Amino acid sequence: MKLTYGLLLVALLQVLAAPAFSQSGRMGLGGGVGYGAMFGITDTDDRLGRFQARGFVRYGVTDQLEVELGGGVGKVAGLDYQTLLFPIDARLVFSPFQLEDINPFVYAGVGALYYKLEQPNVPYTQTLSEWTGYAPVGAGIQFQLQDRVAVELSGGYGFTLSDKINGVEVDEKSDTRTIKKDSFASFLLGLTVTGGESGSADPDNDGLTNNEEKQLGTDSHNADTDGDGLSDGDEVNKYRTAPLKADSDGDGLKDGEEVTKYKTDPNKADTDGDGLSDGDEITKYGTDALKADTDGDGLNDGQEVTTYKTDPLKSDTDGDGLNDSAEVLTHKTDPLKKDTDGGTVNDGDEIARRSDPLNPSDDVPKKEEIKVEVGKAIVLEGIVFKTASAEITPESERNLEKALNTLSQNPEIEVEIHGYTDNVGNRASNVRLSQSRADAVKAYLVSNDVAAQRITTKGYGPDNPIAPNDTPEGRQQNRRIEFFRVK
């Protein structure tokens, strides 16, 4: 009999031990076998222990509660009886603690017991075998051997509804002893395969085993625990990202987006090292998170956004013909202001013509003027009028520009314009003509925004010649306009 039970135990263990032990819980189908001793607790001498063997299946409803169905065979004996017991029962097994390598538990249940007396006390009873109800209670502990396999040690009581287990039935009418039902104690040592999946299994196909996922704290039934678009296995083994954190580097982009869409480094908040996070570059500024200087102007995107306030997508933010880097680093001009010095010429044009973009005085070249001193007369050469007329010829206007520049650029100057003729003709007519010509010059200057009160006129006719009037050249020199500065 003992050999038969031993062979049965070995065979069952080979079947049950094939899967691995789950460290992640006891949910699911499991089972085991045990072998040990059984002692009768009756109203006679029960000091003799006998064998017990039991097999069972368990289904883990939660990590702490299992439902068990089992059955077995055992023997109880006293000095004057031996009885075979065949218990079949259903139990609830409760594990109050969630430990790694050991699992204490308690159990209670109900079932049926078939017993058969092999050495009955015939004078006391004629019943040799029958079914009766019974209730098992007890406690035990599991010690993990490997993955899902554990050694289980348990002990408990079986309370029956029969008083005939030992072959002695007390007559309640004549016996003065306290009447009690027979029971038995059992002690089992065996191997158990707990419920749940194998620790080496990968139910979510993410590249991590159940054991690895438990160690990491990830969900073994969800390939992407943090929902970032990367499987837990790829995060751990390929990208070295955090499988419990959708955004490992905290840059505002999910790890999956960084790897598959933007090609940025999911472990580096600022992939290109430009001073802007990848998330800000992509979602806020529209810059290239893989390129430190998106617009290629010589300033990195972070400098443009945070330091210079320039546009990281536009190499010449103010459109003055100079890129932002040249303005900031070379010319020290304002990259946000087209004309830094406000002198009417933009920075790019000033650099091109070699003027100073930080000095407004050189923006407009000073026009050529004549130098006049108070109390001195200056002849305006090249002033030509039509014959016997005060109309200024176009070529004379070009020569008058020097006088115009002098008055425009020196608003403090006041002048008197003197008109002269040669001595040909009537003197009175020449005086009137010289006055008209002086007035014509004043009218030209006033039409070009010189205040009229700054200018007076006087016609002198042929007076004060500066050359002889007996040659054409001399007469031409005498037909002249003079500037006389009075202030």
What would the pLDDT profile of 5-23 be if each residue is shown by its tens digit?
443 443 343 333 333 334 3
Both structure tokens of 281: 């570059």
* CATH architecture, range 377-485: 2-Layer Sandwich (3.30)
Report the C-alpha gap between 364 and 379 in whole angstroms: 27
Q: Residue 423: pLDDT above 50?
A: yes
At 270, which amino acid appears?
A: D
Q: Are 410 and 420 in contact (CB under 8 A)?
A: no
- The domain locations on the chain are 2-193, 205-269, 271-307, 316-365, 377-485
Q: Is the pTM of this model over 0.75?
A: no
Q: 457 forms bridges with which residues in the sheet?
A: 417
Report the C-alpha gap between 415 and 421 in whole angstroms: 20
Mean of all residue pLDDT scores within the chain: 85
Report the C-alpha gap between 330 and 327 in whole angstroms: 6
pLDDT for the residue numbered 478: 83
At 430, which amino acid appears?
A: N
For residues 94-117, one letter each, b for 16 or more C-beta atoms within 10 angstroms of the residue's C-beta and e for the rest, the string is ebeeeeeeebebebebebebebeb
Residue 454 per-residue DSSP state: G
Q: How large is the C-alpha radius of gyration of the chain?
A: 58
Q: Are 285 and 305 in contact (CB under 8 A)?
A: yes
Pick from 236-245, 272-281, 399-408: least confident: 399-408
At 392, which amino acid appears?
A: I
CA dist 363 → 354, 369, 403 (Å) = 10, 18, 22
Q: pLDDT band for position 170 (50/70/90)?
A: low
Find the length of the chain.
487
pLDDT for the residue numbered 369: 61
- pLDDT higher at 437 or 323: 323
**How many whole angstroms from its chain centre is CA 374?**
77
Report the C-alpha gap between 35 and 52 in whole angstroms: 6
> What whole-number percentage of the chain has pLDDT above 70?
86
pLDDT for the residue numbered 214: 87
Q: 106 forms bridges with which residues in the sheet?
A: 94, 139
pLDDT for the residue numbered 155: 96
Pick from 42-56, 230-244, 307-321, 353-367: least confident: 353-367
- pLDDT higher at 56 or 81: 56
Q: Are 146 and 21 in contact (CB under 8 A)?
A: yes
pLDDT for the residue numbered 486: 84
Both structure tokens of 271: 């992939």
Fold of 2-193: Porin (2.40.160)
CA dist 392 → 77, 162, 165, 395, 441 (Å) = 151, 148, 150, 8, 8
pLDDT for the residue numbered 22: 40
> What whole-number percentage of the chain has pLDDT above 90?
49
Helix, strand, or coil (residue 436): helix
Backbone angles phi, psi at 295, to 5 degrees: -90, 0
pLDDT for the residue numbered 37: 95
Q: Is 123 exposed, middle or buried (0-12, 13-18, 19+ CB in 10 A)?
A: exposed
What would the pLDDT profile of 247-258 be if each residue is shown by its tens digit?
999 999 999 999
Both structure tokens of 330: 């070379």
CA dist 332 → 353, 401, 444 (Å) = 17, 37, 43
Closest CA to 167 of 84, 83, 87: 83
Average pLDDT of the segment spanning 476-481: 83
Both structure tokens of 456: 């007076």
